[in-house]
Structure 1
Amino acid sequence: MGEYSKALEYYEKSIKIREISLPPTDLVLAGSYNNIGQVYRNMGEYSKALEYYEKSKKILAISLPPSHPLLATPYNNTGVVYENMGEYSKALEYYEKAREILELSLPPTHPSLATSYRNISGVYRMMGDYSKALKYYEKSLK
């Protein structure tokens, strides 16, 4: 509904309860931090979004094996923020990390890989590197 302030209010109440009742490496906390990051990203408050994505990433890195596909989520979301900020080389760095994790953990025809390739191609397009953009668009389509 676009009521970001109201969403944040409820997420903040939820996270306070979860921080008290759950261990600090619980995956539910990682998901909650990710959701708060999403709200801040939608509000255009990119530094706050990055802060929460980092919190999510730290928990996932501790709680999951390095090739678990969920670990790609905060890297991808961080890439989106940097892309929105016009920092394309940083966006590409995070999208590539997400891609590496997904390629290790998922079959080559998984839809999440297609999304990852599409994200990378979009950054290359914005950077004006159309041949690389086309390469990743074609991988996504395949």
Structure 2
Amino acid sequence: EVHKEQCQFQQQLKRVQEALEVRRKDPKSSDNAVAGTLMTMGLVYERLGRFDIALQTHEEALEMQKKIHGHDHVDVAKTYNNMGLVYEKLGEYKKALEYYQKSL
């Protein structure tokens, strides 16, 4: 069952990577669409246990989201929360709390 779930996440990661590549190449694609795809990719990396890459991906999404929306937007809050979840899984509870608070 765990192996099946990991395979599904690997397939999902491949699809998200392909979508990101298409969005980055398409001049009609918005930065918001790219940021949303990055956020999804970060979630998939987190589910695969690849926490370092998940954090990097969320950070890239966060920087784009802050440029697009400013600091006070639901997408920014969601990304801060997602980063808090990753830090919690890494056992970095102080850092997790910091990101959870930023999400409020």
Work out whether the TM-score is over 0.5. yes
Displacement of 1:65:
2.7
Q: What are the residue-to-residue correspondences of 1:48-127 with 2, within 5 Å?
A: 48-99=53-104
Structure 2 segments unaligned to the other structure (5+ residues)? none
Displacement of 1:22:
4.2
**Counterpart residue identity of residue 94, structure 2:** S
Instruction: Give the TM-score, by structure 2 length.
Output: 0.88
* Alpha carbons 1:30, 1:57 under 8 Å: kept: yes
Q: Secondary structure at the match of 2:103?
A: helix
Aligned to 2:32: 27
Displacement of 1:9:
1.0
Larger radius of gyration: 1
Q: Secondary structure at the match of 1:66?
A: coil
Displacement of 1:14:
0.9
Displacement of 1:4:
1.2
Distance 1:25 1:97 in 2: 25
Displacement of 1:69:
2.0
Structure 1 segments unaligned to the other structure (5+ residues)? 100-142
Runs of 4+ in 1 over 2 A off after TM superposition: 22-25
Aligned-CA RMSD value? 1.7
Count of residues paired in the alignment: 99
Q: Which has the higher contact order (CA 8 A, sep 6+)?
A: 2
- Sequence identity of aligned pairs in percent? 31
Q: Are the structure 2 counterparts of residues 98 and 12 from structure 1 closer, same or farther at C-alpha, using a change threshold of 3 Å?
A: same
1:10 partnered with 2:15? yes
Instruction: Give the TM-score, by structure 1 length.
Output: 0.65
Distance 1:81 1:23 in 2: 32
Displacement of 1:97:
0.6
Q: Deviations over 1:2-57 (max 9, x none)?
A: 31111111111111110011479611111100111111100111001001101110
